[in-house]
Structure 1
Amino acid sequence: MIDKTVALEGQGENQGSIALIGQGMLGPFMLVTTLFALWGFANDVTNPLVKAFKEIFLISNTQSSLVQFAFYFGYFTMALPAALFIRKYSYKTGILIGLGLYAAGALLAIPASLLMNFWIFILAFYILTFGLAFLETTANPYILSMGPEETATRRLNLAQAFNPMGSLTGMMIASSYILAELQVLKFENTEAVRAFAASDPSAHQAMQLADLAIVRGPYIAISGVILFMMVVFVFSKMPDTGGHSEDGKFGDIIGRLTKNKNYYEGVIAQAFYVGAQIMCWTYIIHYATETLGLSAESGQKHNIAAMILFLCSRFICTFLLGYIKPSQLLLSLAVGATGFTFGAIFLEGMVGLYSLVGISACMSLMFPTIYGIALDGLGDDAKLGSAGLVMAIVGGALMPVVMGALIDAGPIIDGMHPVKSSFFLPIVCFAVVALYAYRAKKRHLHEA
């Protein structure tokens, strides 16, 4: 009998005759895959708000990065409750709860904008990501269960390939509808906005109200899409692939997971990866505007280019996984991401920005591949194990705040712009991912 861990980690070998998607699973697979695009949209329509809210509310980089803290801390808060919920009930029920919370959080943008209250926006993002935590905790293991174990990581990479489509849509809306229309971003810099607010407070308040009305628009629109998807899922027959089960004591499962190096190291690597991803995509706008003097809209266009590269690379990497072991490909791309990040720090002008864009090609594989490797051979424990990997998204809450503080504190290296020097933090993150990939590769060779 082939060891399950070896079968999954050895996915680069002899997969031609093994089905990627199980019999009768194509329809459900396609339907669940739409969820990946939905949470991708939320992630990337929100990222530019770090820069936008800094100007609208006249707050610091550290304070504005609380947008990301609230957004990704919601994952940490709700991932484990979501996993326990689907153990007792079903994947379908978990999806419906997730969609409901997603819609509720999105609709909170209405009172937040009308009251011009930054903290209600923070609450809205926090609740919205309760829904995303339910969706990710449910959809990822559900996809893994929709076919042979030998092709599980490839199957998840294929489903995750549609996540950037939602992200790209969110980015384009953020660029063409939000950043391009915000009046506050027409000012030369923050000091000019402060001067305007001091000279004419009522006009500044009117501008804030108008800008926040622009911000809330996409959230109202996506809430309508989500409610429609809820109806679709309610009336769709979804196969039971073992998502609900109360077999095994909670403490015993946690004990096994915490003793599994492949798993708990994967959780750590995932936290650092998500932190790196969010930092690179959030602060690309700061990089463009503050180090190169480009507009926020132009910075977001480079972010869109990064996402297109990410999307194309995801499909390419999914193909390559048919020939290369996941851990080997993950290691190669982590090293590549580190190199591009050094380029963003030390290369001058547009070349540095292009290096920052290039990081996305290397990041495309990381989340689903770490996820798949970490859950290798866990069997039914993967249901709770998936929660740990979703909780690891908290890296996206913590790292951007640290990066914002680094920017506010000034340059790490004399003479270097603080935005540039702050990218040493993503380098640390990619190094952790590379170490995990190397150790996973060694474990596979040892077990083989």
Structure 2
Amino acid sequence: MQPTLPLKKNNKIHDQKGWLFPFILITSLFFFWGFVHNIDPILIAHLRKTFQLSILQSSLVDSAVFIAYFLMAIPAGLIMKKYGYRSGIIIGLLFFACGAFLFVPAANTHTYGFFLGALFIIACGLAILETAANPYAIVLGPAETAAFRLNLAQSFNGLAAFIAPLVGRWLILTDSDKTDAAISALSGDALAAFIQTETNSVKLPFVLLGIVILIMAIIFYYTPLPDIKEEESLGSNGFIDALKHTQLQWAVIAQFFYVGAQVCVGSFFLVFAATAAGLTDKEAATYTAFYGAAFMIGRFAGTFFMKYIAPVKLLGLYAAINILLSFIAIYGSGMMTIYSLIGIAFFMSIMFPTIFALGIKGLGNATKPASSLIIMSIVGGALLPPILGIISDKTGSIQNGYFIPFICFIVVLVFAIKMRTIKNDSSN
């Protein structure tokens, strides 16, 4: 695979001494945004209990995060085009830190909407970071190992998927054993005290996260990084021209449904575990860490397998397996369903970076707008979870809601099959 940007001839970025440290620095960003996305399931379960929300209402956590990707994707691409990748990364980190610090007033005001606003600002930063970091990881090194390198960087996103639930279990989830009925019966000072205790628990982890992100912004500001620039294009490299590429059209569709599937499966894991297997929140949080570990191991394993199996073939195989596992999650019972979700995490681990790399492969000067459009398609994570919530609330079973990821993995399978038929757009 050769999804790379045309670089100026005097750019030494392909010399290992020139790109290795920048690649390490860029890889750290994959961990940080992975941490946020994988703390969301803890937040959903915690805020759902605190504010007594329906599944549909609690899905707005995901909507707040992923609608930001839709709104910021094109502006992020324009920022990168005007100021470059390095400046874009610093801007993204500042948004990230600001949103993290806003969790303090959100907790103090006991307002669910304030939490959603803070998450939205964090996600604006993440959208900028992902628009910059994904293509940056691709070009920081030899073109022939681009997909391998992106999957390696994304593996640290998987590491965050393992660590974040453990942090959430110990720092966010409280020891309150109140049932929904008991909470509903509270009123006046008792209810206010309960909400205060529950909301206060989110302050420390997000303040610490904000401080770390500010430190990262300072490091990026003072660290010399290769400046990736495009050669002047003979034609337009705008969004409309980029969408003329069939591979990009399919990648945008596939990424929309894949991200929707990932968010649906992961974000409602704790709620699913309590309903389908009768686990407590803290027990479910432990299994969420196993879920994250499976995702992390899947990333590293997928990176290894891609040395021997074409990425497009591996993507198709994994999508087919996840269709079967989704079926088990819907119709199974007890711990069988939990293990099926953990299996889904393993097999969907390579999907985002692989779809991304296949989508921008060989697009040259259209790579930046193409990257923005694929990031924009992450809005699937905002639109599909509420549909899962509606189905779950209407039918009284969250398992029925998992028909949404079942359908999403079918779309990913179709994408993998289609990519093998598009000339020069995928490796067979």
Fold equivalence (TM over 0.5): yes
Residue in 2 that maps onto 1:192: 182
Quick one: which of 289, 304, 324 aligns to 1:319?
304
Specify which of 305, 313, 316 is matched with residue 328 of structure 1: 313
2:370 corresponds in structure 1 to 385
1:204 lines up with 2:195 in the alignment: no
Q: Is the 8 A contact 2:361 2:425 kept in 1?
A: no
> How many angstroms apart in 2 are the aligned matches of 1:443 and 1:249?
23
Question: Which residue in the other structure is 2:222 paired with?
Answer: 235
Give me the whole-angstrom Cα distance separating, in 2, the residues matched to 1:372 and 1:284: 28
Contact 2:164-2:289 within 8 A present in 1 as well: no
Letter in 2 for 1:295: T
C-alpha distance in structure 2 between counterparts of 1:205 and 1:403, whole Å: 30
2:66 aligned partner: 72
- Give the Å deviation of 1:47: 2.3
Query: By how many angstroms is 1:255 displaced?
Result: 2.8
Residue type at the aligned position of 1:424: F
Measured in 1, the distance between the counterparts of 2:295 and 2:123 equals 23
Which amino acid is 1:348 matched to?
A: S
**Superposition deviation, residue 347 in structure 1:** 2.0
Per the alignment, residue 177 of structure 1 pairs with 171
| Cα offset, 1:216, TM superposition | 2.1
Q: Counterparts in 2 of 1:28-427, with a 5 A limit?
A: 28-179=22-173, 181=174, 183=176, 186-188=177-179, 190-195=180-185, 197-198=186-187, 201-242=188-229, 247=233, 253-410=238-395, 418-427=397-406
The code of the aligned residue for 1:442 comes to T
**Once the two structures are superposed, what CA deviation does each residue of 1:273-326 show, in whole Å capped at 9, x if it has no partner?**
011001111111112111221101111211110110111111111111111111
Deviation at 1:344, TM superposition (A): 1.1
Separation in structure 1 between the aligned mates of residue 104 and residue 317 of structure 2, nearest angstrom: 45
Shift of 1:446: 9.2
* TM-aligned CA distance change 1:249 to 1:408, over 3 Å: farther
**Distance in structure 2 (CA, Å) of the matches to 1:278 and 1:264:** 22
Residue 390 (structure 1) shift: 0.9
TM-score w.r.t. the length of structure 2 is: 0.93
Structure 1's unaligned 5+ residue stretches are 1-6, 10-18, 412-417
- Extract structure 1 runs of 4+ deviating beyond 3 A: 19-23, 245-250, 444-448
Hey, what's the Cα distance between the residues in 1 that align with 2:160 and 2:74? 25
- With over 3 angstroms needed to count, the CA separation of the structure-2 counterparts of 1:267 and 1:347, relative to structure 1, is same
Counterpart secondary structure, 2:422: helix
CA contact (8 A) 2:103 2:206 kept: yes
Gaps of 5+ in 2: 4-12
CA offset at residue 249 of structure 1?
Answer: 6.9
CA RMSD of aligned residues (A): 1.9
Identity of aligned residues (%): 35
Q: Is the 8 A contact 1:20 1:154 kept in 2?
A: no
Between the aligned partners of 1:268 and 1:137, the Cα distance in structure 2 is 17
- Report if the CA contact (8 A) 2:161-2:296 is conserved: no
- Residue aligning to 2:420: 441
Query: What amino acid does structure 2 have at the position aligned with 1:45?
Result: I
Letter of the aligned partner of 1:192 in structure 2? A
Give distance in 1, aligned partners of 2:20 and 2:424: 33
Aligned pair count? 418
SS of 1:442's equivalent?
Answer: coil
Does the 8 Å CA contact 1:70/1:126 hold for their aligned counterparts?
Answer: yes
Q: Is the 8 A contact 1:182 1:214 kept in 2?
A: no
- Seen in structure 2, the aligned counterparts of structure 1 residues 361 and 120 have a Cα distance that, compared at 3 Å, is same
Determine the C-alpha separation between the residues in 1 that align with 2:286 and 2:121: 29
Distance (Å, rounded) in 2 between the aligned partners of 1:21 and 1:302:
42
Q: Is the CA contact 1:272–1:429 (under 8 Å) kept in the aligned structure 2?
A: yes
